Amino acid sequence: MSKAVEKNGSVFAVEDKYPITPGHLLVIPIRHTPDWFSMTEGERLDADQLMRVLQARIKAEDKKVAGFNVGSNCGDVAGQTVGHAHIHLVPRRSGDITDPRGGVRGVIPEKRID
């Protein structure tokens, strides 16, 4: 696993091994738990606080970042490939894809809003 870039209480953040965009991070609970739904309220609160800190840092360090995707795949049918809870924080820049409309709906191409 990559070295933690930041920690907050019960969670830590690492760089994604296969980043979607530069600066893509994962926020992960220290305690083993299968997915976002199995995280405790405290873990989710720590994760939310950490994502806010990371979001502000990323925007301060890269003025081209204009938005973010935040998400968690829960279960095999949702695309979860790592059996440990983690939340993706994906910085987005204008023009990083031709048409970003639909956002997370793009995981099922025919559900994208065009």
106 token code pair: 């793009």
Q: List Cα–Cα distances, 50 to 12, 76, 88, 89, in angstroms.
A: 8, 26, 12, 10
* Token output for 20: 């979607």
**Burial of residue 95 (number of CB atoms within 10 Å: 0-12, 13-18, 19+):** exposed
Q: Which of 24, 84, 86, 88 is the catalytic position?
A: 86
Give the span between the Cα atoms of 95 and 72, in whole angstroms.
24
Q: Is 86 a catalytic residue?
A: yes
Name the residues annotated as catalytic: 86
